[in-house]
Every structure is written in C-alpha cells, then in structure tokens.
Amino acid sequence: MKKIMAILLSALMLFSLCACTTPTDNEKYLVGIVQLEQHAALDAATKGFRDALVEKLGDKVEFDEQNASGDSTNCPTIVNGFVSKNVDLIMANATPALQSAANITSTIPILGTSITEYGVALEIENFSGTVGRNISGTSDLAPLDEQAEMITTLLPDVKTVGILYCSSEANSLYQVQEVEKYLAAKNITTKRYAFSDGNDISAICTKAVSEVEAIYIPTDNKAASSTGIIDGVCRPAEIPIIAGEESTCKGCGVATLTIDYYDLGYATGLMAAKVLTGEANISEMPIEYAPKFTKKYNAEIANALGIEIPQDYIAIEK
C-alpha cells in the first residue's frame, strides 16, 4: 500500500511540475490600456497597439481600455483599478499615463507609447535608452532640429517665433528647450507661451499672435485636442504654425515632420506580445523609436496664408 501511495505521489508531483512549466492553450491575458485623452494621434496609437496584440495572440488577449478624458488626475484612479484586477500588462498612452503607472506599480509590466523622452518623463538622469525595472515602450520623438529647420525653410523672413505648449507636460517643455537652441543658432528669437489647460488657450494664443511672426507647437496632447481654438485665433491673424505631429498640423498647422502613430502603437503591441508570452524580459527591453518621419502639410491653411510648400511634402488628407 505504501509503495502504491509513493508511486501516486510521485506521479502527482510530476504532473504539477509539468502544469507549472508548460503554458496551456487556454491561457488568457488581461491588458489594461490607460489613454490620457481622445485625439487622433493617441487614438491611432491605441488602435495600432490593439491590432498588433490581436494579430499575435488572437482571442487569448482581453483589453480593459480606459480614457482619462484629458484630466491627468484620472490616470492614477484608472491604474489603481488595473492593479486591483491584477492585469497582466499596462499600456500607458501619453506621458501623464506613464508617470501614473510607474508611480503605482513596480511589478506589473508597463509599456508606454506616445512618450517623447523617457528620461524626462521618469526623471532618469543620463538616460541610456533602457529604463530597467518593469517599464519600456516606444517614443514619438521626431528630429527636433529638422522641425526647427522647417521654420527657416518655409518661413525664411520670420525672426520671432512663439512656442505654444501645455505647462503640465514635461515632455513638451523638453521639446521647447531643444527647439529654442536650434532657432537661437539661426539668430531667431523665441518666446514661450505656456497654457495650463484648455480654458486659457484662446487668451494665450491671442497674446502670442500680437507679439510673434510664427508659432511652433511640439507634440503636446492638450494642444492636439484644442486645435480648433488655436486655428480660430491664429489663422485670422495670418500667423503660420509649424507643428510637432500630424494631428495638430491637420487642425491648425501649415507643416510638420511627423511619425505614424498607428505604426508606433503597433510596435508597442509587438513588444507587449513578447512580454506576455515570456519571449522578452521587459527590464532589458530598450525604448524603440519610429522608423521613419514624413514631411506633411495642410494645403488649406498653406493656401490661405500664401505659403509655398516644396514638392517633397505630402498633403495631409482631410
């Protein structure tokens, strides 16, 4: 009897070991998505992320998608909900979403997207390109020197440029500082016009158009969701805008050097598939960057302001 029990016990232990080390075909993954707000660029990134994961994992992945509606104070509440549900991975779309996730959990894998500079967003000095711990993701940083060059190429007579951005977005300030350096080297004066939220954009824009000859807007979520207000002030004043990405340019700009946010989100989704299946260790995954950048222009606004666009620019589809 003891011999039979020993055999049964050994068989049970072997079965348990196999069950722990061999994934089942029925394994499901729950992925939480926290998106700062709804606008074309962030929406495209989220769609690309979902499409890539579904392509790789099919019905093994489920999504809990939440939108903070433009209020960064909603992000911690959303992330805490994901933690309580014990999601397998968090995708944080935009800097405030990433910051909230990073502050709340050090164990659940976090992938950011639509983040300009991770070192700035996460306050990492001498950032090497790999965050470590439970965080990685993709960056939407376009070559800022080339964006600044657009101003001097398309608007050669401009000597004073206003830079419009949201004061609460750390990555916006980073871009402002970098573009200021490039324009200063071209002997162009810059003036900062920071707004705190959507309520003061109109007043800030009104001030700007009375003091500058052109405006630069970095990749800034609040500006991207307020392009109607910005265009309503700047176009009648005949002040051209160079934008940091396509959705802002489509709403109020003349031209941009932009990435494809769907592709960026898709690349993030491919990273997520590797993390979920154990193919990659997130702490060792370097930040990935957009593979290409495209010069685009807003034909309607360019024509209205009489700005001639070079042939190597692509018109933004309306």
Are residue 127 and residue 108 in the same domain, yes or no? yes
Q: What is the pLDDT of residue 16?
A: 39
| pLDDT (0 to 100) of residue 106 | 95
What is residue 223's predicted lDDT score, i.e. its pLDDT? 92
On whether the pTM is more than 0.85, the answer is no
Answer yes or no: do 86 and 157 share one domain. Answer: no
Same domain, 254 and 264: no
Q: How far apart are CA 41 and CA 265, in angstroms?
A: 10
Arithmetic mean of pLDDT, 243-269: 95
The pLDDT confidence band at residue 9, using thresholds 50, 70 and 90, is very low
Shared domain check, 164 and 268: no
Give residue-wise pLDDT tens across range 162-210: 999 999 888 899 999 999 999 999 999 999 999 987 789 999 999 999 9
Residues 298 and 173 in one domain: yes
Examine residue 276 and state whether it is found in any structural domain, yes or no. yes
Distance CA 101, CA 98 (A): 5
- What CATH number corresponds to the domain at position 102? 3.40.50.2300
pLDDT digits (tens, 9 = 90+) for 39-79: 889 999 999 999 999 999 999 999 999 999 989 999 999 99
Question: What per-residue confidence (pLDDT) applies to 291?
Answer: 83
Q: What is the pLDDT of residue 24?
A: 45
Q: Please say if the pLDDT value at position 155 is more than 70.
A: yes
Answer yes or no: do 41 and 164 share one domain.
no
Q: Do 148 and 124 touch, CB atoms closer than 8 A?
A: no
Tell me: do 38 and 110 sit in the same domain: yes
Q: Are residues 251 and 265 in the same domain?
A: no
Specify if 19 maps to a domain. no
Asked whether residue 4 is domain-assigned, the answer is: no
Nearest to 242 by CA among 197, 309, 196: 309
Strand partners, 195: 166
Question: What pLDDT score was predicted for residue 7?
Answer: 43
Beta strands 255-258 and 294-297, pairing class: antiparallel
Domains in the chain, number = 2
Please, what is the angle between helix 261-276 and helix 40-57, to 10°?
A: 40
In a domain, 6, yes or no: no
**15-31, pLDDT tens digit by residue?**
333 333 334 456 899 99
Give the tens place of pLDDT for each residue, 227-249.
Answer: 999 999 999 999 999 999 999 99
Query: In this structure, how many other beta carbons lie within 10 angstroms of the beta carbon of residue 277?
Result: 14
Q: What is the pLDDT of residue 189?
A: 97
220/311 same-domain check: yes
pLDDT at residue 25, as a whole number: 55
Of 46, 17, 15, nearest in space to 269 by CA: 46
Calpha distance 36→211 (Å, rounded): 32
pLDDT at residue 17, as a whole number: 35
* Residue 25 DSSP SS3: coil
For residues 252 and 267, membership in a common domain is answered with: no
pLDDT tens, residue by residue, 270-308: 999 999 999 999 999 999 998 889 999 999 999 999 999
Q: What is the pLDDT of residue 27?
A: 80
CA distance 89 to 49: 12
Q: Domain check: are 128 and 151 in the same one?
A: no
Statement to judge: residues 268 and 246 lie in one domain: no
Task: Report d(CA 174, CA 236) in Å as an integer.
Answer: 29
Separation of alpha carbons 271 and 56, rounded Å: 11
In a domain? residue 200: yes
**22 in a structural domain:** no
Over residues 27-37, mean pLDDT: 95
Task: Answer whether residue 14 is part of any domain.
Answer: no
Q: Looking at the domain assignment, is residue 41 inside a domain?
A: yes
Residue 162 buriedness (CB in 10 A; 0-12 / 13-18 / 19+): buried
Strand partners, 61: 29
Average pLDDT in the chain: 91
Q: Provide the domain limits for residue 33.
A: 29-140+260-286
Per-residue pLDDT tens digits for 103-147: 999 999 999 999 999 999 999 999 999 999 999 999 999 899 999
Q: How far apart are CA 265 and CA 274, in angstroms?
A: 15
Residue count of the chain, please give it: 318
